Chains A and B, each alone.
Chain A
Amino acid sequence: KAGVTQTPRYLIKTRGQQVTLSCSPISGHRSVSWYQQTPGQGLQFLFEYFSETQRNKGNFPGRFSGRQFSNSRSEMNVSTLELGDSALYLCASSSGTDNSPLHFGNGTRLTVT
């Protein structure tokens, strides 16, 4: 079974630009969660999608948005990039039931200059 695939692996953007990150979950998984990982902060929850609906959202500004398609693939968008948005963005998929563990991709490393 193929794992969670995130593209691209690396991105360099300048302040004010926008960026779209992509995530393909494990086949059969209907839940996709996004996290921001920075040194010292650990993993901060962005949002979770299940069957094309956002079920939960973390405490991030509205510049961070996402969506999920009918094939469970998900995209995350960040508009008006700020230097502080530089981080590793992780996508994780699961079956979406209460005790199902998360399966992570390798992440997209975003650098904002």
Chain B
Amino acid sequence: AQSVSQHNHHVILSEAASLELGCNYSYGGTVNLFWYVQYPGQHLQLLLKYFSGDPLVKGIKGFEAEFIKSKFSFNLRKPSVQWSDTAEYFCAVNSPLGGGFKTIFGAGTRLFVKA
């Protein structure tokens, strides 16, 4: 069965620190990879996505993620976080299943950025 594992449940950083959130998935076939973000009081929204091509993808607000196929990983990074990045981040994997597509999410990582 598919699964998505996020390494850290809670991360606390100071502004300007660098961020890396780990994500590993278990599925041997073709996958599409996503990071979603949920800011306090807001709905989940797409941060970035990877389908094919360059394994380093860039998203909104300076975030990027690198797909390493051999490690089944899709880690999220940001060189310098801001207080406004305080949110919960979810890694997700979408793969073909049952004639459609099923998106599985990790448990999420809560990021708190200290001003």
Q: A residues touching B (Cβ–Cβ < 8 Å)?
A: 3-4, 31, 33, 35, 40-43, 45, 48, 50, 55-56, 90, 92, 96-99, 101-107
Contact = CB atoms under 8 A, between A and B. Distances in A.
B107 A96 contact: no
Contacts of B92: 102
3 tightest Cβ-Cβ pairs between the two chains A and B: A55-B100, A42-B107, A43-B105
Contacts of B79: none
Interface string B44-88: 111001010000000000000000000000000000000000000
Interface of B: 9, 32, 34, 36, 43-46, 49, 51, 90, 92, 94, 96-108
Given A99-B32, A99-B49, A42 B105 contact: yes
A76 B100 CA distance: 19
Nearest to B107: A42
Contacts of B108: 42-43
B101 A96 contact: yes
Given A55-B98, A99-B94, A90 B44 contact: yes
Nearest to A4: B43
A104 B47 CA distance: 13
11 contacts: A40-B9, A40-B107, A50-B100, A55-B99, A56-B100, A90-B44, A92-B44, A92-B103, A99-B51, A101-B49, A107-B43
A43 B4 CA distance: 11
B44 A104 contact: yes
B105 A98 contact: no
